[in-house]
Structure 1
Amino acid sequence: MTTCKSRCCASRLRLPEAAAAFGLGLVLLLSWAPPVAAQAVSAAAAAPDREELYLAVTVNGEALPQLARFLVGPGDALAASAATLREIGLRWPGSETASGLVELAQLSGLKATYDPRNQMINLVAPVAMLDRVPLRLVSGLGAAQPAEASPAEPGLLFNYDLFAQDSHDTSALSGWNELRMFGVGPGVWSTSMNSGVTHDLLGSHHSSVRLDTSWQMNWPQQALSLTLGDTYSGALTSSRAVRVGGLRFGSNFGLQPYQVTAPLNTFVGEATLPSTVDLYINGLRQSTQRVSPGQFLIDSLPSLNGAGRAELVITDINGQRRAVNFDFYGAPSLLREGLWDWSATTGFVRQDYGQRSFSYDHALVASGTARYGLSDRSTLEAQAQAGGGVALAGGGGAWRLGERAGVVSASVAASHSGAGTGRQAVAGYQWTAQPYSVSINSQRRSAGWRDIASRFETRHALDQDSVYAGYSSFLGQLGVIYVRQSYDSGDSQRFLTLSWSRQIGDATLSLNVVKDLASNSDYQAQLALYVPLDQRRSVSVTAARQGDRTNLAVDASQSVDSSAGGWGWRLQAAAGSGPARSQAEVTQMGSLGQWRAGVSGGSSEATTGYAGASGSAVWMGGGLKPMRQVDDAFALVSTSGVPDVPVRLENRVVGQTDSHGLLLIPQLNAYQRNKVAIDTLDLPADMRVESTTADAVPESHSGTLVAFKLRRIAAVQLTLRDEAGTPLPVGSNVTLEPAAGAAPAATTSVGYDGLVYLEDPPAGTVLRVEREGGGTCAAALPPIPGTGWIDLGPLTCR
């Protein structure tokens, strides 16, 4: 008898059958596939006592998706081709050029176990032997995917803030307003102004001043913005911005809130087996992620500014834990490697802002700034300004020193103007490592230094120095600040500030002292105790002294819930060296806006009453609707005309839809996913909604529509009985056979007592029921009268 040597054989062949099969196979191999036969003979010649098997493979406990070819010899000695071992992710000295068979026992550090029952081979290799690209993970916000903005609905927005006051000889009314147009073509157009009227003993005075008018267009994918109209120039930490009427084009990372601009903290680890990795920053867990065997990298957001300590806790599938510690330094002021931040501005400098509507300098100016992340440790910067008889250029950078030594910055610039040639040098150093923090900044300018902003100053600052030192302990947080500034007029200012605060239970006690070093007697001191009574109510007591004057003030208040609205109030009283003074105010915020009213007075002044109101009016979706004041983006929620539906924003109730099924939600975050949801618990039973949650991603300063599709259905209940009047058995299958051309057939089941529940059954539907003993019966539905809850009563199934 001939024995089948392959372990994959399912049965043994008798001798005549084996001989016939062998002869037929030999003829086919020789006639059809000479190369394959030659290869088989070659393999047999190389390893006549080995068996060729295709096995499932696990590497360090992780199963591979494909089978691999191995040769098994006496004693379960294992071998595989070099190409096969490379394919399953192994490397060893000389593996790149190796060919032919490789004995697994000869690979140092590799453990191979053959499981004949499961036709599997389990490989355990050191991490250095795993030929895999290190797994890169992200911890924190950076792991989120960028959000694509929802289409902006065409509309107009009018913001307003009114304030009126009256005393015995003076009354005044003032207001701020903004008009904004969005969704009509590209970009957003807006204009704002202040207006007021005052009546006193000298008569009436009217004023109206335009503030800003601009048109802004954004490209979120490129993080770029173009502004035409009133804007401001870009600036570095060593330069100053000016308001201009003209054009600005440049980076706007606010369009990509999910992008991290600062260098990420990267932590490297390795796992021999599939593991779970917990990342801790200064003892606080930041993330938990699963990793495969091999090396991995975790990019963590710069969650703190300064030196910190990170710990990776790696737990493998066997429950074994080990920890790896790292020192790092978070520097949010730097740009991550390869990132540009730039702006270019040209126009006419705005003058008398807030006092005159159209006051612009006659000279055309231009400025540009640029920052570039040369590496995660180095950020370079450059600036240039020209116009109005001033030309300026400069450059510098910021560098992280080591892993915990802080950040140093330096820049130089030169200018040429009517005052001659000038130079500026700026240097700084920041270091934070709990419980200490230090910041040193110094600026030096020559007498001829000028920039665009200098043209509108009466005196020019030359030298500036500031030093800050802070310390935190169980006794509180202590900070000391020294500031010195000198001017081209020869005068100078020097101040020393001492601050201290300590948490005492829920209360906070703080002390601030400011000393003018140029005066022997001039100083200010303030001691304050702040006590929160609950989430919205608080009491504070403040004692202040300036020179020889001492005052004591008491303040009690209840803030308004910014989401749900409601009532708020405030009471103040002050007495001391100066006149006694008191104030009382009440405020209320609703879905239409916010109003406030109060009265104030003192021992040396007349009693004054005042009132104010703020809010907005929106024209969108074909109607005009009032709501709270909108600073940036908002959403119009529609529930298909269904009123009184509660709406939530990020799991906070923000209101209910009105009689038209609409609700405006202000204060959304532009270009971010704002989770909007409706509460359907109190909806009628015959109401259906396709989805109860949606992500609103509005564009900047625009509105978006969030539509929830609610509809009423025909909720039909009936009782199926047989011809004897007995309810059909529970669980019987029911098929809805609609009339020709209607929707496809649906199925349901019979409930207790023969009850059947249907939603929106098509007209002319026939219910066909499978009987327990075989066969079917049918019942035709009568016409359904509209929507709502409908009980058809008993139907006979024949």
Structure 2
Amino acid sequence: MKLGGRPACACLLLALAVGQNALAGGLQISPVNLTLSATQNADGIWLSNEGTAPLNAQVRVFNWQQSGNADRLSTSQGLVISPPIVTLPAGERQLVRVIRTTPATNQVEQAYRLFIDELPPAKVQKNTLQFVMRYSVPVFLQPVGQAENTAKLKWALVQTDGKTFIDNAASNDTAQPVGVDLYLDTTVNGNAVGLVHLGYAQGKLYGDAMALRQLGFHLPEKAQPPFYLNDIAQVTVDYNVQQQTLALTAPLSLLDLKTTQLNQSEMASPKAANAFGALLNYDLYGDSGKNSNFNTFSEFRAFNSAGVLSSTQLTRYSTEQNNNQSFSRLDTSWRSSFPDKMLAVTLGDTLTSSLSWSRQTRIAGVKIGTDFGLNPYMPTTPLPAFLGSATLPSSVELYVNGVKYYNGEVPAGSFQLNTLPNITGAGNAQVMMTDALGRTSVQNFSFYNDQLLLREGLTDWSLELGVVRKNYGYSSFDYASEPALSGTWRRGFSNSLTAGGHMEASDSLVNGGVSSDWIPWSQSGTISTALAASSDAGENGYLYGLGYRWSGGRFNFSSSVTATSGDYHDVATRYGAPPPALSGSAVVGYNFGVGGNLSLSYLQFRYPDQSAIRYANASWFKSITENVSLSASFNQNIDNTRDRSVYLMLTVSTSNSLTAGATVQRTGDKMGYQLNASQSPPSEGGVGWNVAASQQSSQQTGQGEVGYLGRYGRVYTGFRSIPDNNYGYAGATGSLVMMGGGVFAAREINNGFAVVSTDGIPDVPVKLQHNLVGNSDSSGLLLVTPLNSYQNNLISIDPMNLPANMRIRSVSLNATPADRSGTLVNFDIKPVRAAQVNLVDTKGKAIAEGSPVRLMSGIGQNSVVGFDGLTYFDALELHNQLRVTTENGICVAEFDYPENQKSVPTIGPIVCR
């Protein structure tokens, strides 16, 4: 058997040539070559059906040797394929594993060839040409001691001094020119990003802020480019010079996974699947000094498909006299959510809704209203639109403030592009259109957007009825005797006007008002207004509010004032302080670039029958280098010249989460100094610590703490010294989960989570968004957290170390938990009696490929005959009967399955009679 000497090829096999029509096969594979290191047990190839009809595919493996200019293939002894024959529905894909049968040796590299064939159907339409695909894929097994990245000739298209040329380099990538520009086809955690503009110098890839945001990294405003990808802690960089691709793997904590809607249509939120379970979050803290204290905070949750029951508690114990111990129930509630209607109902302890001018009140009762968080894929704020037309079919690209945010295709005719991202403030956008003839046109437009507005036609409402909670945090069941009613309503009347109202009532009190947020014209800024009135047992009062805000580029400004007159009351007034008689603020900020960021603010408060409180503040921040920053602040009480504070702080940070700082401050007539250093634990777990020392006047304080963040929670201990008291402390936070037949310890869980089942198979690696989170336990279970509620969270397994006789239905699934609840993710993995069966007719000739086969034994199973008369089943019994449909009719083959098989044997040849 011979093949040409090409490294990999895809060939068209002609099944029938009797007519004018042609049907093209849809089999696609990825990747197109495999290399297994000495420590690697298996790898895989994805087969996908890009056609419109189901197809059958066969994978065979052969030893590959080259003699002269010819390839010599023989039966493989070192690799097995699982499964060797697959049926792919249209649009589906299947992972096929390539598994070692023996460990790596110290000998030379071994080479194999995979034949991946799209099998022709048993019957072909008349007068039809049927084309099917064959892929020939090289597989290399590296011996023990060989480096995984051997020297190979590589090339890249690079740009230097405005010129493009081909650069040849050996295996050492540092041989490339310094400072070249690259445009790399990039993936981040397996998600395609597209072409990203990066630089390459001294063996490292680097990019500016635009590039890193395109890659999805969190980027602080103070960060200064260039950013070297190879130097980012916990980020794996796989740069393929030959193919000009880049694969990045990063922890979830470094990536911005916020949901962003960029296309014109809204994405439907996936349906959440809730399991039955219970959860306990705990936070324990104790200290010992002059007195000993022990405090606990706990949250109990029980959940099922109907909703979530939640209860929080606070316990305090102290050896201090007259303060021995106390227990306080905080909140207990049941919440049911209805994502299709974006509606939530809460029974029990809750907070009333409010607008910018009103106040929330804690009540026990019922709350019903809108919850946009039930569909996080739906944009709620206005998306400025661009209206245009295309004479010919065209491609459209959208740039916002110089950053590309969208590209797509539009047909001839008019179109509306509603794809601006959620950007607050003023900006400039550019739409670039290229028609089918290659002609390009560019149109510019400006916009102003405010995240506090609702998009046109969207309504947000809430209604609450209950009794007010009193002495919260100290008393568990102290409620008012009078019921209270509260309601809030907002609507986007247009993309530039959102208005709403709020009302409250209790006993003899009635309070109600309206407000609006309005953008009069493009880039004008937002004007906010509010007007309310109240009546309480004959005492009347009013509230007035006015505000303005604008931001864009380097400058931002905001101001607001709210005033009350008469006896203005709300429900909260009856159980606490009244609203301020006057509250106002003004803030202006400017980014000077190399001069840093400056912010000036003024605040004023005055409560009824009290003097006004007025403060002025000036703050400044400057990044000196990528790792060093300087900040300063000045605060002045305008009515008391002695009430003044000034501070200057220097901060130094490193790439390994180490931060150190020094602060000098003056408060009144007292000078103070502080030194601190800290290191945060890695997101995947590890040790963190912090130390601090300070002095103000003659008083000195000090603190030291060390902690460990693990898979099962966080523990910490420390020592603190303050005037007249030295004490040590320790604490722990975490959670316990009971769900899916298991009990799990984990870090504190504040969002959704999943219990992953591998069908009882232990030690299977599990990944969240392509990041390894752990292995299944002895029961085949693993708790995965945190997950985003009402969103698709990609969970996958690595099946490469599983035996070949394991049937794996899927290697990746989307998990969608509901609010603060858990969901079950079941991977169907089962040990099976699997085998390839070599079928021949009574003359010893292989049964024709494409012939349908039915397993009549046991549960029954359908398959197809591939090349060389091979078929495959994974539901075999000890004795089996096959029914084969051939061109000459139906024949039957019988055979026994050999016992104690740990792999996939080839049985036969078996005569079909």
Question: Please, what TM-score do these two structures have when normalized by structure 2?
Answer: 0.66
**What is the CA distance between 1:299 and its match in structure 2?**
0.8
**What do residues 610-638 of structure 1 show as CA deviations (whole Å, max 9, x unaligned)?**
11111112222233322221112211111
Separation (CA, whole Å) in 2 of partners of 1:141 and 1:334: 20
How many residues are paired up? 649
| Partner residue in 1 for 2:277 | 155
Q: Do the aligned partners of residues 791 and 391 (structure 1) sit closer, same or farther apart at CA in structure 2, a change above 3 Å counting?
A: closer
Assess if the C-alpha contact under 8 Å between 1:583 and 1:598 holds in 2.
yes
Q: Secondary structure at the match of 2:275?
A: coil
Q: Do the aligned partners of residues 672 and 440 (structure 1) sit closer, same or farther apart at CA in structure 2, a change above 3 Å counting?
A: same
Q: Do the aligned partners of residues 145 and 763 (structure 1) sit closer, same or farther apart at CA in structure 2, a change above 3 Å counting?
A: farther
Assess if the C-alpha contact under 8 Å between 1:717 and 1:790 holds in 2.
yes
Q: Secondary structure at the match of 2:795?
A: strand
Assess if the C-alpha contact under 8 Å between 1:340 and 1:372 holds in 2.
yes
Q: Do the aligned partners of residues 737 and 222 (structure 1) sit closer, same or farther apart at CA in structure 2, a change above 3 Å counting?
A: closer
Matching residue within 279, 300, 312 for 2:398: 279
Matching residue within 808, 825, 830 for 1:689: 808
| Partner residue in 2 for 1:788 | 902
| Partner residue in 2 for 1:346 | 465
- Bigger radius of gyration: 1
Separation (CA, whole Å) in 1 of partners of 2:331 and 2:470: 12
Q: Do the aligned partners of residues 533 and 716 (structure 1) sit closer, same or farther apart at CA in structure 2, a change above 3 Å counting?
A: same
Assess if the C-alpha contact under 8 Å between 1:233 and 1:367 holds in 2.
yes
| Partner residue in 1 for 2:733 | 614
**What do residues 334-392 of structure 1 show as CA deviations (whole Å, max 9, x unaligned)?**
11111111111122111111111112222222121111111111111112111143211
Separation (CA, whole Å) in 2 of partners of 1:397 and 1:600: 50
| Partner residue in 2 for 1:408 | 527
Q: What is the identity, as a one-letter code, of the residue corresponding to 1:555? A: N
| Partner residue in 1 for 2:699 | 579
Q: Secondary structure at the match of 1:446?
A: strand
1:72-471 matches, cutoff 5 A: 140=262, 143=265, 145-167=267-289, 169-183=290-304, 186-200=306-320, 202=321, 205-418=324-537, 420-458=539-577, 461-471=580-590
Assess if the C-alpha contact under 8 Å between 2:685 and 2:709 holds in 1.
yes
Separation (CA, whole Å) in 2 of partners of 1:454 and 1:688: 66
Separation (CA, whole Å) in 1 of partners of 2:356 and 2:863: 70
Q: Do the aligned partners of residues 780 and 421 (structure 1) sit closer, same or farther apart at CA in structure 2, a change above 3 Å counting?
A: closer
| Partner residue in 1 for 2:101 | none
1:737-756 matches, cutoff 5 A: 738-739=855-856, 742-750=860-868
Q: Do the aligned partners of residues 715 and 598 (structure 1) sit closer, same or farther apart at CA in structure 2, a change above 3 Å counting?
A: farther
Q: Do the aligned partners of residues 534 and 783 (structure 1) sit closer, same or farther apart at CA in structure 2, a change above 3 Å counting?
A: same
| Partner residue in 2 for 1:517 | 638
Separation (CA, whole Å) in 1 of partners of 2:437 and 2:791: 40
Q: Secondary structure at the match of 2:373?
A: helix
| Partner residue in 1 for 2:783 | 664
Listed as ranges, the gaps of 5+ residues in structure 2 are: 1-259
Q: Secondary structure at the match of 2:474?
A: coil
**What do residues 695-742 of structure 1 show as CA deviations (whole Å, max 9, x unaligned)?**
111111211111111112335468899999xx9999988986645784
Separation (CA, whole Å) in 2 of partners of 1:788 and 1:705: 30
Q: What is the identity, as a one-letter code, of the residue corresponding to 2:518? A: W
Matching residue within 592, 598, 619 for 1:499: 619
Q: Do the aligned partners of residues 736 and 388 (structure 1) sit closer, same or farther apart at CA in structure 2, a change above 3 Å counting?
A: closer
**What is the CA distance between 1:521 and its match in structure 2?**
2.0
Q: Do the aligned partners of residues 142 and 696 (structure 1) sit closer, same or farther apart at CA in structure 2, a change above 3 Å counting?
A: farther
Q: What is the identity, as a one-letter code, of the residue corresponding to 1:749? A: F
Q: Do the aligned partners of residues 565 and 419 (structure 1) sit closer, same or farther apart at CA in structure 2, a change above 3 Å counting?
A: farther
Q: Do the aligned partners of residues 462 and 777 (structure 1) sit closer, same or farther apart at CA in structure 2, a change above 3 Å counting?
A: closer
**What do residues 298-348 of structure 1 show as CA deviations (whole Å, max 9, x unaligned)?**
112452111111110112223222111111101111111111111111221
Matching residue within 557, 565, 568 for 2:688: 568
| Partner residue in 2 for 1:95 | none
Matched, 1:593 2:717: no
**What is the CA distance between 1:160 and its match in structure 2?**
1.0
Assess if the C-alpha contact under 8 Å between 1:635 and 1:666 holds in 2.
yes
Separation (CA, whole Å) in 2 of partners of 1:517 and 1:438: 21
**What is the CA distance between 1:271 and its match in structure 2?**
1.6
Q: Secondary structure at the match of 2:543?
A: strand
**What do residues 533-556 of structure 1 show as CA deviations (whole Å, max 9, x unaligned)?**
115332233332212223232322
| Partner residue in 2 for 1:38 | none
Separation (CA, whole Å) in 2 of partners of 1:331 and 1:714: 62
Q: Secondary structure at the match of 2:866?
A: strand
Assess if the C-alpha contact under 8 Å between 2:742 and 2:781 holds in 1.
no
| Partner residue in 1 for 2:37 | none
Question: Please, what TM-score do these two structures have when normalized by structure 1?
Answer: 0.76
In angstroms, what is the RMSD of aligned CA positions?
3.1
Q: What is the identity, as a one-letter code, of the residue corresponding to 1:149? A: K
Q: Do the aligned partners of residues 351 and 767 (structure 1) sit closer, same or farther apart at CA in structure 2, a change above 3 Å counting?
A: closer
Separation (CA, whole Å) in 1 of partners of 2:373 and 2:779: 34
**What do residues 413-472 of structure 1 show as CA deviations (whole Å, max 9, x unaligned)?**
111124721111100111112111111101121131111112233565211111111111
| Partner residue in 2 for 1:59 | none
Q: What is the identity, as a one-letter code, of the residue corresponding to 1:557? A: S
Separation (CA, whole Å) in 1 of partners of 2:368 and 2:476: 24
Q: Do the aligned partners of residues 175 and 419 (structure 1) sit closer, same or farther apart at CA in structure 2, a change above 3 Å counting?
A: farther
Separation (CA, whole Å) in 1 of partners of 2:854 and 2:486: 75
Matching residue within 690, 700, 703 for 2:819: 700
Separation (CA, whole Å) in 2 of partners of 1:635 and 1:189: 18
| Partner residue in 1 for 2:670 | 549
**What is the CA distance between 1:193 and its match in structure 2?**
0.7
Matching residue within 543, 553, 559 for 2:680: 559
**What is the CA distance between 1:777 and its match in structure 2?**
12
Matching residue within 798, 817, 820 for 1:679: 798
| Partner residue in 2 for 1:112 | none
Assess if the C-alpha contact under 8 Å between 2:753 and 2:817 holds in 1.
yes
| Partner residue in 2 for 1:643 | 762
Identity %: 33
Q: What is the identity, as a one-letter code, of the residue corresponding to 2:866? A: T
Assess if the C-alpha contact under 8 Å between 1:340 and 1:370 holds in 2.
yes
Separation (CA, whole Å) in 2 of partners of 1:590 and 1:152: 27
Q: Do the aligned partners of residues 685 and 388 (structure 1) sit closer, same or farther apart at CA in structure 2, a change above 3 Å counting?
A: same
Separation (CA, whole Å) in 2 of partners of 1:259 and 1:577: 55
Separation (CA, whole Å) in 2 of partners of 1:196 and 1:661: 39
Q: Do the aligned partners of residues 519 and 686 (structure 1) sit closer, same or farther apart at CA in structure 2, a change above 3 Å counting?
A: same
Q: Do the aligned partners of residues 745 and 270 (structure 1) sit closer, same or farther apart at CA in structure 2, a change above 3 Å counting?
A: closer
Q: Do the aligned partners of residues 735 and 453 (structure 1) sit closer, same or farther apart at CA in structure 2, a change above 3 Å counting?
A: closer
Assess if the C-alpha contact under 8 Å between 2:383 and 2:422 holds in 1.
no
**What is the CA distance between 1:240 and its match in structure 2?**
0.7
**What is the CA distance between 1:766 and its match in structure 2?**
6.8
Separation (CA, whole Å) in 1 of partners of 2:488 and 2:322: 50
Q: Secondary structure at the match of 2:695?
A: strand
Q: What is the identity, as a one-letter code, of the residue corresponding to 2:448? A: Y
Assess if the C-alpha contact under 8 Å between 1:262 and 1:302 holds in 2.
no
Q: Do the aligned partners of residues 627 and 691 (structure 1) sit closer, same or farther apart at CA in structure 2, a change above 3 Å counting?
A: same
Matching residue within 473, 476, 496 for 2:596: 476
Separation (CA, whole Å) in 1 of partners of 2:856 and 2:486: 74
**What is the CA distance between 1:784 and its match in structure 2?**
3.3
| Partner residue in 2 for 1:129 | none
Separation (CA, whole Å) in 2 of partners of 1:643 and 1:298: 50
